[in-house]
Every structure is written in structure tokens, then in C-alpha cells.
Structure 1
Amino acid sequence: MIESTITICNKAGLHARAAARLVGTASQFDSSVRIGTEKLVDGKSILSLMMLAASKGTVLTIVVDGNDESEALRAIQELVDNRFEEGE
């Protein structure tokens, strides 16, 4: 199990399109992905991610557990750092 933090840096925050991209990325891996602040939610569930209401600047904890956890964390961090590929 590995844990890290990510900061939502895109203008619109973790809105539907960004959440869908995050779910798509997380779902490529076998590892479980949990994301949140005080309460962690399933990172492979778009509804759970939307419930976080994470706006720009929100710092989220991400916990990844499984045989490909390092690759999964790296892919998710790259997606967030690239502003969910929204080119703002």
C-alpha cells in the first residue's frame, strides 16, 4: 500500500469530465484506489469522486493498494498534473 497527496490544479476542479478521466485511468489497474480528504472514496467510482466536490486547489489523499500500485499512482499523478488533459 502506498499513499500520496494530489492537488487539483485544473480550473473547473474535479468535475464530471475530469472525474471520468480519473476513473478511466484508475480502472486500467488491478490495484484498489481510494481518494479523499477526511473520508476516502473509491477512485474507480465516478459518483463517489463527484461527491468529493473537489474544487481547484483541493488537496486529496490517494491510497493505492495492489500488485501494480506504483504504476497506478504514477498514472493518476500524471493525469492530475496534466490538468486532466483539458489544456487550460
Structure 2
Amino acid sequence: MEKEIVIKSTQGLHAALAAKVVQTASKYAVDIELHYHNKVVDLKSILALMSLAVPHGENVRIVARGTRAEEAIKDVSSILG
């Protein structure tokens, strides 16, 4: 399952937002990734997520696999988009 969203935060994907995303993604027993340009990172890793430095208004894709993938994507995308 996957979903494309636009980063709505005017500060882009900053540290506090990344921490919230990681905390939310970690609640689910799914494999969940963020795809940005040609990079793919685990959404349960704050260092990996911060390394992307995604600015405001950029498109990203969230990809999840597992029994609660749809729910995980919905929760994470509500934070980012």
C-alpha cells in the first residue's frame, strides 16, 4: 500500500515533526518507508528521516507493508500532509 502526499509544514520536515512521525510509525508492526526523490528511508528511524531534509511543498511517497499498512499510512500522512 502506498500514498503520495505533499509536506505541508512551512518548515519542511523538521526535527519535532520527524520525531512525531517516528513515534506514530513505531506503533505499527509494519514495514513503512518514506520515498523522496531517489532515496528511501525507514519511517521508524529519526536519523534516516532527518537526513532527507525534505522542504515545504515537496511530494513524498509513504509505502507500507503489513496487516495494518493502511492504518499506519493514514496516521503518518495526517501528520505530514
Q: Which category of TM-score, normalised to the shorter sequence, fits these structures?
A: over 0.9
Aligned to 2:75: 75
**Distance in 2 between the 1:6 and 1:48 partners?**
19
Structure 1 outlier segments of 4+, above 4 Å: none
Structure 1 residue 78 displacement after superposition = 1.3
Unmatched 5+ residue regions in structure 1?
A: 82-88
Q: TM-score, normalised by structure 1?
A: 0.86
- Cα RMSD of the aligned pairs, angstroms, is 0.9
Q: TM-score, normalised by structure 2?
A: 0.93
**Distance in 2 between the 1:16 and 1:80 partners?**
12
Aligned to 1:26: 25
Percent identical: 38
Matching of residues 24-63 of structure 1 within 5 Å? 24-37=23-36, 38-63=38-63
Aligned to 2:2: 3
Structure 1 residue 36 displacement after superposition = 2.1
Aligned length: 80
